[in-house]
Amino acid sequence: MMKSQIAKLGHVAIHTPDLEESLWFFNEVLGLQIVEQTNDTAYLRGQRDWEHHTLSITESGQKGVDHIAFRTSSADALSELADQFETNGTDVTYLDAGVESGQGEAIRIEKFGHPYEFYYDVEKPRAPEDQRSGLKNRNYTEAVANRIAPRRIDHVHVQDPSETATDHAVWLEDELGFRLNERYRAEDDELWGWWLAVTPLPHDIAIHREPPGSSEGFHHLSYHLDSLNELWSAADILSEHGIEPDGGPGRHAITRADFLYVSDPASGFRIELFAGPGYLNFEPDWEPIEWTEEDIGGETNHQWVGQGPAWDGLEYVN
Amino acid sequence: MMKSQIAKLGHVAIHTPDLEESLWFFNEVLGLQIVEQTNDTAYLRGQRDWEHHTLSITESGQKGVDHIAFRTSSADALSELADQFETNGTDVTYLDAGVESGQGEAIRIEKFGHPYEFYYDVEKPRAPEDQRSGLKNRNYTEAVANRIAPRRIDHVHVQDPSETATDHAVWLEDELGFRLNERYRAEDDELWGWWLAVTPLPHDIAIHREPPGSSEGFHHLSYHLDSLNELWSAADILSEHGIEPDGGPGRHAITRADFLYVSDPASGFRIELFAGPGYLNFEPDWEPIEWTEEDIGGETNHQWVGQGPAWDGLEYVN
Amino acid sequence: MMKSQIAKLGHVAIHTPDLEESLWFFNEVLGLQIVEQTNDTAYLRGQRDWEHHTLSITESGQKGVDHIAFRTSSADALSELADQFETNGTDVTYLDAGVESGQGEAIRIEKFGHPYEFYYDVEKPRAPEDQRSGLKNRNYTEAVANRIAPRRIDHVHVQDPSETATDHAVWLEDELGFRLNERYRAEDDELWGWWLAVTPLPHDIAIHREPPGSSEGFHHLSYHLDSLNELWSAADILSEHGIEPDGGPGRHAITRADFLYVSDPASGFRIELFAGPGYLNFEPDWEPIEWTEEDIGGETNHQWVGQGPAWDGLEYVN
Amino acid sequence: MMKSQIAKLGHVAIHTPDLEESLWFFNEVLGLQIVEQTNDTAYLRGQRDWEHHTLSITESGQKGVDHIAFRTSSADALSELADQFETNGTDVTYLDAGVESGQGEAIRIEKFGHPYEFYYDVEKPRAPEDQRSGLKNRNYTEAVANRIAPRRIDHVHVQDPSETATDHAVWLEDELGFRLNERYRAEDDELWGWWLAVTPLPHDIAIHREPPGSSEGFHHLSYHLDSLNELWSAADILSEHGIEPDGGPGRHAITRADFLYVSDPASGFRIELFAGPGYLNFEPDWEPIEWTEEDIGGETNHQWVGQGPAWDGLEYVN
């Protein structure tokens, strides 16, 4: 496996028509922590996220995703990546430190319609003292957290029209050094989905293919919980707030993780709460697993509790 | 609350066209323990069931339920119950000890089309030594159990045509001393379901109403597992055996328990694996809870993961 | 089994030298809900307790337990019990309705040095609207509960000098109709502990024997949580508050339940958080299980994580 | 963080005086799968291990550890590592393919008394068909696994005399590219323990310091389970087999994982079953966390259920 210049998924930046309502959902209901709030933008993260934020929400009168950001493995890796993009003919936008709160210099590109950002320097503020864990390897204490309180950012899932989906996946493998863990081959014998990672997680980013002529879009951002029990407790808490999940709780065949989908009523932005066994892939010579409908469903029903109707993804705006 | 002569749900006796296949399902897949096996009948129970059996399966060329048996609180209570039925004009059939293996004298009646049995004397054989728990308050050891291995019988669920459903529920309350814990009022403003118990469980027996002219029938027998984790593990194990659950895993609003439905391929007999918080009702002055569709579903979606299409119940045969 | 006039454990009333600090512990840390608070007394209960309170705390300058209260199965059962005590030569104190907030007429006796109360009439106030569950079979919502939030009262555990311990247990069986589920025989061949219930729980009350000449006392009150995961989360939360548990988390051999002991710093009153499989005893002809040290410990170590040093119980005061 | 040539912990090879008894413990009790067995050696792995083995056991009349093996990230990385060791004056032993079953060429060195092996080529046999999971991202099915059945190798823990412990840890960081996640500073103000990883796990290897003049040794090999519930179930199963754990179940402050220690009666080799939240460290600029006794214990008791007396590690033999 090629060593990637990317260390991890960093954050997603989104737009909302109503920041107050979005903060009700993300902070009060889900229990994400607010690190900083300016006039129009709030920066949030999970209980055990160390970076300044893993989600930023800007009130702009629009609904949609602004960009998806990956952190590089070093400052040099960021420069190398910029050079490599330029060499390959990809337009690179250079951002000064501080354009996003808590973040140093960054670069942005658009590939296959997706706005990607890369950065290395980032602040890692500890939780405020009255919310700080007594455990040095945790950030926020759970003693004052609500009963969902996602622990850390996990992955993103995006969608592409069939014209570009495969190229997008290949680009992530070839140019960015992602490892393809699993893929899904549809009944038309074409690939339909790709689960890719630079870490041992089952995926840091997944892509699925939409019909020809569709817009590319953003499907969901996932946060990790500690256990299946917490996932079900989350479904209880959402119910008590009068919020109906988009799907689940259930267990995926691909990635073998437990899931629950729920969307912010204000922005339409979808979160996948993620838990359970899943797997960690430490193999340096991994052969991608390929699934067909027959492998997953059929008589053996390895995928519990379907994800319901195909939901629309959010478009990119900025 | 009136003191009931009934102590608990005892067992269910069923028919199968293929005992060997039924034992593959109940013993090998589900992990119920076989206590005794005769030419045509097998007697099974859960890891922590103490009575001789909580399920008996007879190969008879038929599919269906033979009878539902409750254990009385004493030998005297059994006699009182027999006298009471006779007085009230219900035909009582008297069974000698040993008609069912491990069981003393019993009586049987048919009410609203349901074949009920009552008994008090019963053998309580300990697990064979090589399967016995070192814990005196457990019966079988889990060291040699499979990964589902239900712990104990929990409840039965039956169905009635709308002509008799209400009378059936009232009879269980008035003549047998069941406490009505919860009921469901349908959109036609008529009661649709009743959850009744003589123990603090959310229900020992539930009834739901089918359309006018339907046959009465048996919907499922439930066994209890120790945790939500075990319920999901059970769904995994079923998948690995190529068996698709009838519904779930999910969480009921009524009874607030976690569930998974699955049927024996040979007999069509449905088991509900039950786990999770639920509740215990120790209140001597309980007012039945009444639910409507609006209370359970609607925006708040307190019932996760619908139970799928209305499944047919099994008919009674003997 | 004799039918008991007692339906369930109702509540425990305790004294504290500092109500504010006790409420920090019981309400803020443990998450018990405050139902009512007067000048010197606070009334608390768990998330799914229905009665007005299951714990009352009175600031009196003293540390100790005021009384242990059981609810009878009916108003008549309360009268019968009073008559029975008088007949047997036990002094009965009659309390008017309202002496304890939310409670009707009650009687009190002292047996073997333990102050017992019995009552039937009790208010069952629903949770305030902003804390109320949308589920009709739950009381408080967990959406605004903290991460411990015990669900319901479970049992009490008291201690006696060896001179009276056996008589105390026999009295609970013979006069009050408790079922003896389990007992422990010490190396001196005398009984050391008794686990007794009027419900199917492993115990509503337990007694253990202290050395000759000891005072009778109160060991702990137990509240139930939903799962082992919650028990461990509770240990985390206590740590984050700087509170060291008295013992556990561990799993008992007797009762086979998971436990964690922790005491209120102000009053010294000990709570046992209880969870896990345990068992429910529905058998009408239960033979008490008898354990010896060899059964529990020895090579097989069925009792994990010893309960630490023998802790002092609290004395009774009033 | 420097990129390491090492991809992951691969396996540990141990000696036993009685292979049959060791297989009773590792295969029948723990549920590790036997992949291959020769005259004197058995090769085992967990349910989701992909490599040929993660533990090998050789009957040799001795008790002790033969070597600890890491897999490199590529065949080139193995050559580079060999060259680097030679350049630095470390004696390198070259092993032909097949010296260990299922494994290609390998190199061995001894550093600070620890026998380390490095390899890249390895067979990855799928589970036999009748034990194979229907899920392509799992290896063995749990449908025929016992109730412990560890999932995958997690980490090793070794010990050093105080003369070399620090140098050993520095060597792992500087020459092998391990990241130091956490360390412990004892009351004498010297470092006592180091938790190091090349993966995002809390540690792939830990070192603790023994008194001056002690022998270096091997403390335990850890396998991962899916949940806290499974960890407690494992303790139950061990009890039922008459095996007393060495310590736990408990939760570590450092690594924040749930643990249970247990040793093979025949070889004395200690396994740590590992589960629970722990954490994954994806940070490319991680600052090692340093703990003191005050941070972990003291009033806040962040470390539950002490690991008991300091146990002896096993010596290295070959």
Q: What is the mean pLDDT of residues A269-277?
A: 92
Residues of B in contact with A240 (CB under 8 A): 300
Residue B299: per-residue pLDDT: 46
Distance of CA C83 to the CA centre of its chain: 26
B6-300 CATH pick, 3.30.365.10, 3.40.1360.10, 3.10.180.10, 3.40.630.30:
3.10.180.10
C300:D235 CB<8 A: no
Distance CA D83, CA D89 (A): 10
Interchain contact B260–A (C-beta under 8 A): no
- Tens digit of pLDDT for each residue in D37-90? 999 999 999 999 999 999 999 999 999 999 999 999 999 999 999 999 999 999
Q: D touches which chains (3+ CB pairs under 8 A)?
A: A, B, C
Nearest to A300 among B228, B242, B276 (CB): B242
Distance CA B271, CA D267 (A): 45
Geometric angle at alpha carbon D168, from D167 and D173, rounded to 5° = 95
Domain ranges of chain D: 6-126+150-300
Band of the pLDDT at A216, cuts 50, 70, 90?
Answer: very high
Distances (CA, A) of B246 to B203, B262, B265, B311, B316: 21, 5, 11, 9, 21
C199:B200 CB<8 A: yes
B15: enclosing H helix or E strand: strand B6-16
Interchain contact A232–B (C-beta under 8 A): yes
Residue C318: per-residue pLDDT: 72
Band of the pLDDT at C296, cuts 50, 70, 90?
Answer: confident
Which of D287, D247, D288 shows the shortest CA–CA distance to D271?
A: D247
- Tens digit of pLDDT for each residue in C215-225? 999 999 999 99
Which of A289-293, B166-170, C284-288 bottoms out in mean pLDDT, i.e. has the lowest?
A289-293
Whether the bond into B249 is cis, omega within 30 of 0: yes
D220: enclosing H helix or E strand: strand D217-224
CB C219 within 8 A of CB C208: yes
% of chain D at pLDDT higher than 90: 85
CB C12 within 8 A of CB C99: no
Distance CA B119, CA B101 (A): 13
| pLDDT of A308 higher than 90 | no
- Tens digit of pLDDT for each residue in A168-192? 999 999 999 999 999 999 889 999 9
- Tens digit of pLDDT for each residue in D111-121? 999 999 999 99
Q: What is the mean pLDDT of residues B205-212?
A: 94
Question: What ipTM does this complex have?
Answer: 0.94
* Tokens describing residue A143: 């003693």
Q: What is the mean pLDDT of residues D130-158?
A: 95
CATH number of D6-126+150-300: 3.10.180.10
Q: What is the crossing angle of helices C228-240 and D228-240, to 10°? A: 110
* Tokens describing residue C127: 């949770």
Q: How far is A7 from chain D (nearest CA, A)?
A: 6
% of chain D at pLDDT higher than 70: 95
Nearest to A142 among C134, C142, C240 (CB): C240
Q: What is the largest CA-CA distance in chain A?
A: 56
Nearest to B228 among A229, A244, A300 (CB): A229
D142:B241 CB<8 A: no
Hey, which residues 112-141 in chain A have their CB within 8 Å of chain D? 120, 134-138
Residue D304: per-residue pLDDT: 53
Distance CA B315, CA B191 (A): 23
Q: For B213, list phi and psi in degrees, rounded to 5.
A: 85, -10
C302:B134 CB<8 A: yes
Interface test with B, best of A240, A305, A307 (most B CBs within 10 A): A305
C22: enclosing H helix or E strand: helix C19-23
| pLDDT of D307 higher than 80 | no
Question: Counting Cβ atoms within 10 Å, is residue C100 exposed (0-12), middle (13-18) or buried (19+)?
Answer: buried
Question: Counting Cβ atoms within 10 Å, is residue D311 exposed (0-12), middle (13-18) or buried (19+)?
Answer: middle
Question: What 3-state DSSP class applies to C49?
Answer: coil
Residue of A nearest to C134 (CA): A240
Which of A4, A14, A143, A22 shows the shortest CA–CA distance to A68?
A: A14
Report the 10 Å Cβ neighbour count for C21.
15
Residue C300: per-residue pLDDT: 46
Nearest to C232 among D228, D235, D239 (CB): D228
Question: What 3-state DSSP class applies to A75?
Answer: helix
Q: How far is D227 from chain C (nearest CA, A)?
A: 9
Residue D249: per-residue pLDDT: 86
Q: Which amino acid is it at C208?
A: H
CB D306 within 8 A of CB D252: no
The mean of the pLDDT values for chain B is 93
| pLDDT of B297 higher than 80 | no
Residue D246: per-residue pLDDT: 86
Band of the pLDDT at A73, cuts 50, 70, 90?
Answer: very high
What b/e string do you get for A73-95 counting C-beta neighbours within 10 Å, with b at 16 or more?
bbeebbeebbeebeeeeeeeeeb
Whether the bond into C150 is cis, omega within 30 of 0: no
Which of A223, A156, A152, A176 shows the shortest CA–CA distance to A73?
A: A176
% of chain C at pLDDT higher than 70: 95
Q: Which amino acid is it at B58?
A: T
- Tens digit of pLDDT for each residue in A105-146? 999 999 999 999 999 999 999 999 999 999 999 999 999 999
Q: How far is B161 from chain C (nearest CA, A)?
A: 27
- Tens digit of pLDDT for each residue in B250-274? 888 899 999 999 999 999 999 999 9
Residue of B nearest to A300 (CA): B242
- Tens digit of pLDDT for each residue in C167-184? 999 999 999 999 999 999
User: Taking the model in full, what pTM does it have?
Assistant: 0.96
| Rg, chain B, Cα only | 19
Nearest to C244 among D229, D239, D299 (CB): D299
* Tokens describing residue D185: 């500073």
Residues of A in contact with C234 (CB under 8 A): none
Listed in sequence order, the residues at least 6 apart from A84 whose beta carbon sits closer than 8 Å to its beta carbon are A175
C244:D305 CB<8 A: no
Q: How far is B290 from chain A (nearest CA, A)?
A: 18
Whether the bond into A249 is cis, omega within 30 of 0: yes
CB B48 within 8 A of CB B140: yes
Q: Which amino acid is it at D95?
A: L
Residue D144: per-residue pLDDT: 93
Question: Counting Cβ atoms within 10 Å, is residue D317 exposed (0-12), middle (13-18) or buried (19+)?
Answer: middle
Nearest to A284 among D74, D279, D280 (CB): D74
Interface test with B, best of A226, A229, A239, A260 (most B CBs within 10 A): A239
Whether the bond into C125 is cis, omega within 30 of 0: no
Residues of A in contact with B249 (CB under 8 A): 249, 304-305
Band of the pLDDT at B277, cuts 50, 70, 90?
Answer: confident
Q: C touches which chains (3+ CB pairs under 8 A)?
A: A, B, D
Band of the pLDDT at D247, cuts 50, 70, 90?
Answer: confident
Q: What is the mean pLDDT of residues A282-289?
A: 96
| pLDDT of B282 higher than 60 | yes
Nearest to D133 among B133, B143, B240 (CB): B240
| pLDDT of A298 higher than 70 | no
Residue of D nearest to B226 (CA): D229
Distance CA D182, CA C217 (A): 46
| pLDDT of C250 higher than 90 | no
Hey, which residues 154-173 in chain B have their CB within 8 Å of chain C? none
Band of the pLDDT at C308, cuts 50, 70, 90?
Answer: very low
% of chain C at pLDDT higher than 90: 85
Residue of D nearest to B147 (CA): D147
What b/e string do you get for A123-148 counting C-beta neighbours within 10 Å, with b at 16 or more?
eeeebeeebbbbbbbbbbbbbbbbbb
The mean of the pLDDT values for chain D is 93
Q: For C3, list phi and psi in degrees, rounded to 5.
A: -75, 130
Residue D129: per-residue pLDDT: 96
